[in-house]
Chains A and B, each alone.
Chain A
Amino acid sequence: MARVTVETVDQIARLAHLSLTPEESITFARQLDEILAYADSLQALDTARVPPMSHAWTSEVFREDEPREGLPGHRALEAAPDASDGLFRVPRVIG
């Protein structure tokens, strides 16, 4: 199986929106390698005809589509670090 390098960790960190320090990347690469080596025990099991399980229990999720009050916009914005005009503010994204 593939092993985790510092480059892999940096690439994954970018996907996960994490800015790691070089020390963190080195530590995580070593630790993830150990964890995945431990998880290799699963490779020995024959799962070819075993269905995947995503949930223990699936309830009846359908209900009538009835309109009801949601959280008012101003309340949803209360906890925002920066908001104005009823919107979340972020740095400019498009040039």
Chain B
Amino acid sequence: MSALWELSATEIAARVGRRSLSAEEVVRAHLDRIAALEPRVDAFLHLLPDRALAAARGLDAALATGLAAPPLAGVPVALKDVLDLEGLPTTCGSRILEGYRPPFTATAVARLEAAGAVVLGKTNMDEFAMGSSTERSGYKKTRNPWDLERVPGGSSGGSAAAVAACLAPVALGSDTGGSIRQPAALCGVVGLKPTYGRVSRYGLVAFASSLDQIGPFARTVEDAALVCSSLCGWDPHDATSAALAAPDFRAALAAGVEGLRIGVPWAFLEKGVATGVLATFREALRVLEAAGARVVEIALPHAPHAIATYYLVATAEASSNLARYDGVRYGLRVPAPDLERLYGETRDRGFGAEVKRRIILGTFVLSAGYHDAYYGRAQRVRTLIRRDFETAFAACDAVATPTTPTTAFRFGEKTEDPLEMYLADVFTVPANLAGIPGASIPCGFAGGLPVGLQILGRPFDEETILRVGHAYQQATDHHRHRPPLAA
């Protein structure tokens, strides 16, 4: 019999729903596990044990008096600290928001709570989601549960590490250039970035508004599908949310991959992929072929330009979005005799180096004389990248790549060279630019560290991605391996 902290969200919801297990027992088991392992993993910025236990007891009481079992009954969830919960801290990993308590709750979080999920706490992240290692947090380092000397990836590193270490069966993150998929790959869990517009971003602190998307982490594709059905759907509070009902994503899983065409952009993978990662990826393709899929070669000729395009578009948007942190309405204020110095000194003290670097770059590419050459050109190349995918999806049903070029790297390995850190996102960034959905599925190990298989789909076709991922997990047991952390 599995320990309660090992159970999948699907199993927890089923057992709590039929009252063979209480939500309180489930939440207690996870809080105990957090108490034992958090000192080594450091996944959380804020824990909410009293609130979680109260919510669990409330759910148990409601179920006892005949409440119909909600879809996520008693499922503990960890939230990246970029998502608002009314009256509780949101720091976004930044000192500039230390002590800030938002006056509203993010729609994505409200939907999960309405579906019976129980929030355990808020997880660590790179400051304002800018980073690929969680080393840019203004608060602390999160460690990769597979090797405590290595990064968990980022920016949603705390959420990925929490799920990998079984501190929570599911977590939410946000993905602007790979911030769900890349840490999912490095920590050996499932991470899904839904289509742009699928999930309301009301109550998500904005980084780059044309790219940001909220999505789940889980240990199985089935759990990610379960959570997604509660997460997705139109929200009047977010003008960019799509007026589409959330499908029952789990119902799509059984279809398998027989006859599906999986496109691989081999030319794009030629350079820079570690040998062990590439070998693991090829083996994953063989598994999918054995399950009935057909692997075909596709071309994404403009994908090599995606990182450059991304860092012009995303920083431009970020420089505008982060203008609001000025010491006037919320967060840190460094007192000064005049307003200009108040702004400048508050922002200089409150923001870390990576955030300042991106604000400067974004302000530069938008400034008079450079706008057309940089930002304007990047927006046009973005069109070319999207067209590449449109062409590719005429010849295949899903695209597969390794999620990342390497496995988890060591602390400090890429912090001195910003460009090298940016290249960790080379395979994840194109999906954000095109607005298409993508997932990372654990597909084995290289040198003892997890490797992720990235699967990309057509806009609003998360079902195909989840089908491929589920078929893969049915045929393999990588997702059953646990990091070597004794409680």
Contacts and interface: CB of A to CB of B under 8 A. Distances in A.
B173 interface: no
A45 B305 contact: yes
A57 B328 contact: no
Contacts of B104: 71
Given A41-B308, A47-B377, A76 B103 contact: yes
A93 B342 CA distance: 11
B364 A8 contact: yes
B367 A15 contact: yes
Interface string A54-65: 111101110100
Contacts of B419: 31, 34-35, 38
Given A51-B380, A53-B386, A19 B435 contact: no
B328 A60 contact: no
A78 B331 CA distance: 11
Nearest to A39: B308
Contact of A81 (B103, B308, B332): B332
A72 B240 CA distance: 25
B207 interface: no
Contacts of B418: 31, 34-35
A77 to B, nearest CB: 8
B351 to A, nearest CB: 8
Contacts of B383: 50-53
A60 B302 CA distance: 30
Interface in B338-363: 338-345, 347-348, 351, 353, 356-357, 359-361, 363
B294 interface: no
A10 to B, nearest CB: 10
B381 A45 contact: yes
B3 interface: no
Contacts of A75: 103
Contacts of A51: 380, 383
A31 B197 contact: no
B440 interface: no
A17 B240 contact: no
A39 B311 contact: yes
Contact of B197 (A38, A59, A88): A59
A79 B330 contact: yes
Nearest to B332: A81
Given A39-B374, A56-B210, A47 B360 contact: no
A43 interface: yes
25 contacts: A9-B360, A12-B367, A16-B363, A17-B343, A19-B341, A19-B348, A31-B419, A32-B357, A32-B361, A34-B418, A35-B361, A38-B308, A39-B311, A51-B380, A52-B376, A53-B380, A55-B210, A56-B196, A56-B435, A57-B459, A59-B243, A71-B104, A78-B101, A81-B330, A91-B336
The 8 lowest CB-CB distance pairs between A and B, nearest first, are A56-B435, A19-B344, A52-B379, A81-B333, A79-B330, A47-B380, A17-B343, A39-B308
